[in-house]
Structure 1
Amino acid sequence: MTNSPTTFPCRSHPNAAWTVGRLTVHRVDEVDLPPGTGSWLLPAATADVVAAHPWLRPHFTDTEHLVRLHSHSFAVTTGGVRVLVDTGIGNGKPRANPAWHDLHTDYLGRLAALGFTPETVDLVILTHLHTDHVGWNTRAQDGVWVPTFPRARYLTSRVERAFWAGYTMDEPRRQMFGDSVLPVEDAGLLHLVDVPDGGTEVAPGVRLVPTPGHTPGHVAVELTDGGERALITGDCVHHPVQFADPGISSCVDIDPALAGVTRRRLLGSLAGTDTLVLGTHFPPPTAGRVRAFGGSYRLDPVAPVRPLLA
């Protein structure tokens, strides 16, 4: 860990958007995650494994057959409710992972350029309580961490919060909860949601879907409007290589076997449908549709409807 700020800019892609019925779903870019992140996060996704699936190139892998990963949020307005799904890594936060430590990005500027200034966000959905999904929950103000979105309800699964309440945390995770979760909780803004097997609606056309395994209370986020549907993955799928082999696990899955079962069930339900899949860590083009392929699945990319200035 260094004492200087770490900046990994979004090198080649501005924010982008996709339509779901009358809804416009914006990708809010934070950072390209550095080379090597994929090998650490998905150790079974070796160069040989990736090379066996040519459809992953050129969008989702680099020239050495290593997976590429990205950090971003999704923002959508539905029924007059401004919704943000996950909040990335955050700025200026001490982190054990050098790629996440003391970032300085223009995330809030990108969000504001879409019309989502902090005071106008109504609902923040946290798919789970991992460091790279809760960072912009808070920002520094006068030497303390305060909620970034002061008028918003922050939602997460009741099962998720209960799991971490009983978990023996190491120092990095205690640090993260202290600067990114507890200040929101202490402000009375964190709302816990019961998520049954069939999911639960939390805003017009916005449904939380249980996708356990990566964490016990992990949820994906379903968006529907006008007969069209999209699904924001969170970390139940980290990268499209897991479409080809749903058994590839993340090194930080709490229950890798259950995560694999969840992925297989989810991908099977999506294959051959028109559901737009939006990956929380998928590099651009970020979105696509699931197709059965070679005894497993693939992701057919869907281009954004238009680029948006970052």
Structure 2
Amino acid sequence: MPNSPRPIATPPAWTVGDLRVHRVDEVTLPPATGPWLLPSATAQVVDQAPWLRPDFADEAGVLRLASHSFAVVVDGLRIVVDTGIGNGKSRANPAWDHLDSDYLARLARAGVRPDDVDLVINTHLHVDHVGWNTFLDGGVWTPTFPRATYLMPRRDFEFWDPARGHTPRLGRGNQNVFEDSVAPVHEAGQTLLWDDGHTIDANLRLELAPGHTPGSAVLKLASGGDRAVFVGDLLHTPLQFVEPDVNSCFCEDPVRARASRHRLLGWAADHRALVLPAHLGGHGGAEVSRRGAGFAIRKWAPFSRL
């Protein structure tokens, strides 16, 4: 039977300069996700940040997490940032196995239909960031966005290619993902593999933020004097805004992941950029400020709870 997630409210949107950015919700993640994904974020650690409750942690101190994408139109380009878990896919994680969500309908309600998308940006190639790259059409995994160019970090493309024989920390967690969500897009001639950085236009730039994966990236957006940064899995929870040394258990290079997180938060604080992770279980993002050698949350994005 398909794994059908419970309904989630229509996703919110907010303004960055002259642009309207939409968060497209896919699923809330099971409570068990927090403890195994971020094992150092214990209930005792969460207790030291009581503001996490109720949006980002429950009363027992278990982190609340979700899966979502972002959609934005920039200079006439319709862009989707990360594509979630996807429907009907064989996954090692039973919570993600053969999902049956209304993700595409939610994307359409944000004014973005698959045939209209110009760019798909995968911040990295983990299972929960590439799933809607493809859909099953007549038994064949087919690009969901037929006109789009899919921007993928070359370092991740090569790392996750099973033919190269890497042994990732994720273990079986990314099993089948390259074959059903990455290779079909590449074989269709729709990928652009980038290396050290990639400028899309004057307002959009992809930059490497390695550690979680070799090619993990962030997308920086500027408009009308405002800035936002889509950070993928550089941050899973706002606890990491104030405790940036907290890593997930799947960071391929934990030292580099921490360094990338510190560097990104410093840039965001200095530029008052809205920080937008892919898995926050409550508000969609926040601005941060420097506090001594660390960081504090300056202002939340005005999102309602999931």
**Shorter-chain TM-score tier:** over 0.9
The SS at the match of 1:26 is strand
CA distance in 1, matches of 2:282, 2:45: 21
1:232 maps to 230
The SS at the match of 2:36 is helix
Counterpart pick for 2:208 among 207, 210, 216: 210
Q: Report the CA distance between 1:62 and its aligned residue.
A: 1.2
Letter in structure 1 aligned against 2:252: I
1:175 maps to 176
**Count of residue pairs brought into register by the alignment:** 300
Is 1:70 the counterpart of 2:71? The answer is no
* Contact kept in structure 2, 1:222 and 1:229, CA below 8 Å: yes
The SS at the match of 1:297 is strand
CA distance in 1, matches of 2:113, 2:53: 36
Q: Report the CA distance between 1:274 and its aligned residue.
A: 2.2
The SS at the match of 1:131 is coil
- Percent of matched pairs sharing the same residue: 49
Letter in structure 1 aligned against 2:32: G
1:253 maps to 251
* Contact kept in structure 2, 1:205 and 1:225, CA below 8 Å: yes
1:123 maps to 119
Listed as ranges, the gaps of 5+ residues in structure 2 are none
1:171/1:231 Cα in 2 relative to 1: closer, same or farther (>3 Å)?
Answer: closer
Output the aligned Cα RMSD: 2.0
Superposition TM-score, scaled by structure 2 size: 0.92
Taking the TM superposition and a 5 Å limit, the aligned residue runs for 1:41-52 are: 41-52=37-48
1:242 maps to 240
Taking the TM superposition and a 5 Å limit, the aligned residue runs for 1:289-304 are: 289-293=287-291, 296-299=294-297, 300-304=299-303
Is 1:153 the counterpart of 2:144? The answer is no
1:188 maps to 189
Is 1:143 the counterpart of 2:142? The answer is no
1:5 maps to 2
CA distance in 2, matches of 1:22, 1:102: 38
Listed as ranges, the gaps of 5+ residues in structure 1 are none
Letter in structure 1 aligned against 2:2: P
Counterpart pick for 1:284 among 279, 282, 288: 282
Q: Report the CA distance between 1:171 and its aligned residue.
A: 5.9
1:18/1:38 Cα in 2 relative to 1: closer, same or farther (>3 Å)?
Answer: same
Deviations 1:20-68 (A, max 9, x none): 1111110001000111101110000001101111222222111211111
CA distance in 2, matches of 1:275, 1:76: 16
Letter in structure 2 aligned against 1:194: D
1:201/1:87 Cα in 2 relative to 1: closer, same or farther (>3 Å)?
Answer: same
The SS at the match of 2:232 is coil
* Contact kept in structure 2, 1:231 and 1:276, CA below 8 Å: yes
* Contact kept in structure 2, 1:10 and 1:32, CA below 8 Å: no
* Contact kept in structure 2, 1:22 and 1:225, CA below 8 Å: yes
1:122/1:85 Cα in 2 relative to 1: closer, same or farther (>3 Å)?
Answer: same
* Contact kept in structure 2, 1:18 and 1:26, CA below 8 Å: yes
Q: Report the CA distance between 1:150 and its aligned residue.
A: 0.6
CA distance in 1, matches of 2:61, 2:153: 36
Superposition TM-score, scaled by structure 1 size: 0.91
